[in-house]
Chain A
Amino acid sequence: MVKEIEKAGLAVVHVATVVPISKTVGANRIVPAVAIPYPLGNPALSESEEKKLRRSIVEQAIFALETDIDKQKVFSGEKEEAF
């Protein structure tokens, strides 16, 4: 899905829990998510902590959308892993 959207000329970031799948599928901008049942959350945290976590992931996604890349890139926060 990511690729078809990108093909249509839209900038797209894939927030995905299983990064290897995202890579295999061919997403270009990838932000790792927390867990499969709650990619942008964590029920173990307090409500405000959880919202903070979610915001950090969305901000990372926004950052990815603002970043020029020439090949697939995983935006994982402090250290960015290029491959």
Chain B
Amino acid sequence: MSNKLRIVHYLNQFFGQIGGEDKADIPLRKEDGAVGAGTALNNLLGEDAEIVNTIICGDTFFNENIEESKSKIKAMLQEIKPDLLVAGPAFNAGRYGVACGTAAEIAKTELGIDVVSGIYPENPGYEMFKQYAYFVETSDSAAGMRSALPDMAKIIKSYIQKDGELKSPAEEEYLPRGVRKNVFVEERGAARAVKMLLKKLEEKEFETEYPMPVFDRVEPAEAIRDMKKTKVALVTTGGIVPKGNPDHIESSSASKFGEYSLEGVMSLEQASYETAHGGYDPVCANMDSNRVLPVDIMRDLEKEGVIGELHNKFYTTVGNGTSVANSKIYAEEIAEKLNAAGVQAVILTST
């Protein structure tokens, strides 16, 4: 019995030395020991760990037969019972990144096996699966193999040394997993915040404890040429709903949006509308929901011919704690519905 850490390595057809794109449809297979890049990794790991098996699958096969691939990987891992799964590195190969991420998800969530991988941060596999693996940052192409492997070996060694309790992404040099961990610190939050602020004011370097997510940009849409002929819709993240919140939109981290008719509604009356939002004091919005969703004014403008018409449905969700990813999905669906209904302009209100 050796007490080396037993590793299974996941590779695609290319890095598994089976072939290129023409072999991308090969199904999952299991090999003994290390293969290809795995051999180099094995050497870097020395006495501490050993790649006992390699799982190889074509990228196309994996992505087209995702359920089958998942269950096969799971069965193989259950049989081999490794201490750690290593996947890739996938660089910026999209399908490979998804395959490595999916393998990581299965290993971590279904079998409790930790995963080390390598990826280029803009590979969608990172965003999709970042919480399931310790991903080291690699370059966007396989030319970066020479530094990716030592980086991965370093994390694996640290993992062994610390008995699986890796420190923060910055300390261990892996990409953030978006996982928040409670820790005890000497100094209270207010003092830390003031110190940070002072550093900022002095234009010195400081390290935030809560990095803001990165937002992308969109080109401004063209202006409306003739408002008198334009159908305008109202959308809100302020949680305005018909009284009783019929679809049970959550007061925070909303899992859905609502679509409600404004047919014949001239103003949002207190008896019929309220807010489901749990992130602000609801008293004012409950008394008069026009304060969040200005239906009364829009009706006036419609009557006066300032706008063509008010779309007869409004869309609503609760912005409170709702993830960027979910908001994106809701808004995509809302936009599709608005486009289908011939809406040209949108007033979106946020609390």
Convert A1-42 into 0s and 1s, putting 1 for each residue whose CB lies closer than 8 angstroms to a CB of B: 111111111111111111001101110110001001111110
Asked whether B332 is an interface residue with its Cβ less than 8 Å from the other chain, the reply is: yes
> How extensive is the interface on chain A, given as a class?
35 or more
A13–B233 Cα distance when bound, in Å, is 11
In the complex, which residues of chain B have a beta carbon less than 8 angstroms from the beta carbon of A26?
215-218
The residues of B that contact A54 with a CB separation of less than 8 Å are 290-291, 294, 296-297
Residues of A within 8 A of B221 (CB): 6, 9-12, 28
The complex places the Cα of A22 from the Cα of B290 at a distance, in Å, of 21
Q: In chain B, what residue has the closest Cβ to A67? A: B223
CB distance from A2 to the nearest CB of B (A): 5
Which residues of chain A come closer than 8 Å to B283, judged between CB atoms?
Answer: 37
Q: Say yes or no: B345 contacts A37, CB within 8 Å.
A: no
Closest residue on chain A to residue B297 by CB atoms:
A58
Could you tell me the distance between the alpha carbons of A21 and B213 in the complex, rounded to whole angstroms?
A: 12
CB-CB under 8 A for A9 and B339, given A39-B291, A66-B227: yes
CA distance A13 to B223 in the complex (A): 10
Q: B317-351: which residues lie under 8 A (CB-CB) from chain A?
A: 317, 319, 327-328, 330-332, 334-336, 338-339, 343-351
In the assembled complex, which residues on chain B have CB atoms less than 8 Å from the CB atom of A65? 223-224, 227, 230, 232, 345, 347
Interface centre among A21, A29, A41 (most CB of B within 10 A): A41
Q: Give Cα A15 to B349, complex, Å.
A: 5
B348 touches A1 (CB 8 A): yes
B224 touches A66 (CB 8 A): yes
Minimum CB–CB distance for A39 against chain B, Å: 6
**Chain B residues with CB under 8 A of A10:** 221, 335, 338-339, 343-346
Interface size on B, residues (CB 8 A): 58
Q: For residue B339, which residues in chain A have a CB less than 8 angstroms away from its CB?
A: 8-10
Tell me if B344 and A39 are in contact (CB < 8 A).
no
A68 interface hit (Cβ, 8 Å): yes
User: Do B224 and A5 touch (CB < 8 A)?
Assistant: no
Contact present for B297 and A12 (CB under 8 Å): no
Q: Are B284 and A15 in contact (CB under 8 A)?
A: no
Is there an interface contact between A5 and B338, defined as CB atoms closer than 8 Å?
yes
Give the contacting residue for B223; candidates A21, A25, A55, A66; CB below 8 A. A66
For the complex, give the distance between the alpha carbons of A55 and B232 in Å: 15
A54 CB, min distance to chain B CBs, angstroms: 5
B346 touches A13 (CB 8 A): yes
Of B8-16, B55-63, B150-158, B300-308, the segment with at least 4 beta carbons within 8 Å of chain A is B300-308
Q: Is the CB of B235 within 8 A of A16?
A: no
B238 at the interface (CB under 8 A from A): yes
Partner of B330 from A1, A7, A38, A67 at Cβ < 8 Å: A1
Give chain B interface residues in 247-289, CB to chain A under 8 Å.
Answer: 280-285, 287-288
A71 part of interface (Cβ distance < 8 Å): yes
Is there a chain A Cβ closer than 8 Å to B183's Cβ? no
B136 at the interface (CB under 8 A from A): no
Q: Known interface pairs A8-B336, A38-B284. Does A58 touch B298 (Cβ–Cβ under 8 Å)?
A: yes
Contact A8 B332 (CB under 8 A): yes
B220 — which chain A residues lie within 8 A by C-beta?
6, 28-29, 69-72
Contact with A along B198-220 (1 / 0, CB 8 A): 00000000000000100111111
What is the chain B residue whose CB lies nearest that of A55? Answer: B297
Cβ of B348 to closest chain A Cβ, rounded Å: 5
Give Cα distance in the complex from A51 to B219, angstroms: 33
Q: Which residue of A lies closest to B333 (CB)?
A: A4
Question: For A1, what are the chain B residues with a Cβ–Cβ distance below 8 Å?
Answer: 235, 237, 317, 319, 327-328, 330-331, 334, 348
* B155 to A: closest C-beta gap in Å: 32
Contact A24 B212 (CB under 8 A): yes
Residues of chain A touching chain B, judged by Cβ–Cβ distance below 8 Å, are 1-18, 21-22, 24-26, 28-29, 33, 36-41, 43, 50-51, 54-55, 57-58, 61-62, 65-72
Q: Which 7 A-B pairs have the closest CB atoms?
A: A41-B291, A4-B331, A8-B335, A28-B220, A1-B331, A38-B291, A12-B346
